[in-house]
Structure 1
């Protein structure tokens, strides 16, 4: 597996998928996400335990992702037919709006560096791509612990702010909090970040 996708261009892909919003199968490709903020979110398998909680959490925040002009694509190695059955039978996935892609040949999981070769499944890998198709953030975890969708939304807000303004966002930053204007005051700030922001402000 590669060590990181960060700063790399989105791998090209084409996959069959189940569009839960319409209830139909379709084909998705990396070209569909050009020029958009995009989340590619891998999970190990349908009909497991932590996976539906993560998908449901992302779905519950779907409108917030849309307000941030951010597309979401969930991916596992299961078939599109498995995805359809999974959505239809798992109570947590009622009213799902997401599209779930089928990486049946495991090539996309491998390209993103999250394939567990000996098991033939993907790790919990979540990747954020900017409109230029460059990965700016990733989170990869093993099976037993689910990811935090609220923290991921915060990261998207921070990346979009930093991209728009040229400022950088300190630890724990969220909209309305203080940023670091390195784009205009880098020389003054060098070695003196504590003159601009306190640990109390960072943790508040």
Structure 2
């Protein structure tokens, strides 16, 4: 899942990017408000982590502008402003969730997964298709009840397909979701990950739509 992080504290931002990256998230991190504001119009994100106290532009102003422009990406506010009034204001301006610093990365990840599930209309914590089940929270998957040995990119790719059942995803869309903007991606990286998933889940689990992209096969 691709996450936009706008946080000016470099220690916190670096920790979020490294920690969530190890959990399978793809992170684009910006340290000033104006650059972060523009990022949402330039790429497709599954959720946003937004600090309120930012240089150049306040986080609440960014949030207000996004919602006025029609952006519906879930926003998790992460800030040191722990007063009740600030929390209420953030939620009224369109935030979906709120966490105060200091925080635990595991809670940030859990809240992001919950926001992403709700955006896709998924009420259950697990995702399933046929005999395959994925638990994004524990980063585990099973086939016919048996554990699957999937690498982090394979788990992320599987989650993308399960959240987008019935949709055809292009290679460009998959690359954008799997990798951050500063990642050097080889030309056949997506095809390699899909090949590995097919070997583990069955050749028909992911179907190629020639000239367009890929979609889930029949369950």
- Taking structure 2 as the reference length, what is the TM-score of the superposition? 0.29
Report the structure, 1 or 2, having the larger helix content.
Answer: 2
- With the length of structure 1 as denominator, give the TM-score of the two structures: 0.31
The structure, 1 or 2, with the larger RCO (C-alpha pairs under 8 Å, 6+ apart) is 1
